[in-house]
A and B are shown apart, each in its own frame.
Chain A
């Protein structure tokens, strides 16, 4: 096997480039290296101006999402050996503005996320002392949705995010469901308007790529389809029994 591999990295330097362009870097091929290790090698030894985000190197922080050979991936979890003999094409995540090279701007997501109130809501403080106990079955209801690391791979994979500017997006809705399905939470009604709006679950056309892209096994597409059923039933209840609605 060759001892070198080529990384084709998309570069965008706003102070000098009008459009992003591809730049080739030849790096040592180590079978234990992830794409992120390759980028770090470039940064440390070849071109210090290359910009990208990373932190934990173990698939927890969600910082190093990139498009690797056309697929949204965590670059710390995409191994060069899987792309040998190369070249490996590395681009910034799709559906986001690019600040520089592989660094995307996620302000839009950070603006949308609080709209679904992704935290435990309990209007009345509990009268009983101690923790809010939960059975394993109750934990199982929402546990997979709590694994989301906000890596934005699902937003990059989803064509609706690219087409519909206002769409809340897969991760925000999955995180809303994480709390809606939590037995300790009482805030489902407060999340209803944002989730059941046209920019909420109804914008989703169920392409299903968000679930395939998720590196943590979360199923945002499933969360959205389940909430469509909830929203439809709630709307029906409000129509049939307007006084008892919510």
Chain B
């Protein structure tokens, strides 16, 4: 496009493919988005466990053997840490989406975050009671 007095030639900067490595906050965001893949894996692993349990003792034993192989253990340790990161950052962002009012006043963000952690602890305790009890 050539420049004329009435049609200035605008410069349209190219948006880089690796835009997310240019800022620390962008990188942290992309890492958080990628943790969703590991959340999905944890769900798949849980479904595989449920299927193995439903199929009887032998498939369950084979599932346990497979789960104790070094690469599945490594994958699940990484998954646990990234799912925890995903959950913590999710809970910390929750007050942004929830503007709760009680008795005419805005409920403080720390209360909303705290309620999420409390619910998390409660559900974890119930799950632990069901599994171990």
Give the interface segment out of B38-46, B61-69, B94-102. Answer: B94-102
A206/B10 in contact, CB under 8 A: no
Interface residue? A226 (CB, 8 A): yes
Give how many A-B residue pairs fall within 8 Å (CB-CB): 62
In the assembled complex, the Cα of A147 lies from the Cα of B49 at a distance in Å of 53
A162/B15 in contact, CB under 8 A: yes
Interface string of A213-241 (1 = CB under 8 A from B): 00000010110011011000000000000
Shortest beta-carbon distance from B93 to chain A in Å:
7
Interface size class on chain A is 20 to 34
A98/B25 in contact, CB under 8 A: no
Nearest opposing residue in chain B for A17, CB measure: B11
Among B11, B96, B106, contact of A98 (Cβ-Cβ < 8 Å): B11
In the assembled complex, the Cα of A222 lies from the Cα of B98 at a distance in Å of 9
Contacting residues, chain B, for A229 (C-beta < 8 A): 97-98
Contacting residues, chain A, for B97 (C-beta < 8 A): 222, 225-226, 228-229
In the assembled complex, the Cα of A159 lies from the Cα of B30 at a distance in Å of 11
Interface residue? B120 (CB, 8 A): no
A163/B15 in contact, CB under 8 A: yes
B33/A222 in contact, CB under 8 A: no
B3/A14 in contact, CB under 8 A: yes
Interface residue? A124 (CB, 8 A): no
In the assembled complex, the Cα of A187 lies from the Cα of B93 at a distance in Å of 28
Interface residue? A208 (CB, 8 A): yes
Nearest opposing residue in chain A for B25, CB measure: A209
A137/B104 in contact, CB under 8 A: yes
Interface residue? A32 (CB, 8 A): no
In the assembled complex, the Cα of A87 lies from the Cα of B10 at a distance in Å of 27
Shortest beta-carbon distance from A216 to chain B in Å:
18
B26/A97 in contact, CB under 8 A: no
Among A12, A105, A159, A206, contact of B93 (Cβ-Cβ < 8 Å): A206
Shortest beta-carbon distance from A103 to chain B in Å:
10
B25/A212 in contact, CB under 8 A: yes
Contacting residues, chain A, for B104 (C-beta < 8 A): 137
Interface residue? A131 (CB, 8 A): no
Contacting residues, chain B, for A222 (C-beta < 8 A): 96-97
Q: Residues of A at under 8 Å CB distance from B?
A: 12, 14-15, 19-20, 70, 94-95, 97-100, 105, 137, 140, 159, 162-163, 205-209, 212, 219, 221-222, 225-226, 228-229
Q: List 17 A-B contacts (CB under 8 A).
A: A14-B11, A20-B11, A70-B23, A94-B13, A95-B15, A97-B10, A98-B10, A98-B11, A98-B13, A100-B8, A162-B15, A207-B29, A208-B93, A209-B23, A222-B97, A226-B96, A226-B97
Task: Given contact pairs A95-B15, A159-B19, A206-B96, enumerate 11 new A-B contacts (beta carbons under 8 Å).
Answer: A14-B3, A15-B3, A19-B11, A20-B11, A98-B12, A163-B15, A207-B26, A207-B29, A209-B26, A226-B97, A226-B99
Q: Residues of B at under 8 Å CB distance from A?
A: 3, 8-13, 15, 19-20, 23, 25-26, 29, 33, 93, 96-99, 104-106
Nearest first, the 4 A-B pairs at minimum CB distance are A225-B97, A97-B10, A14-B9, A98-B11
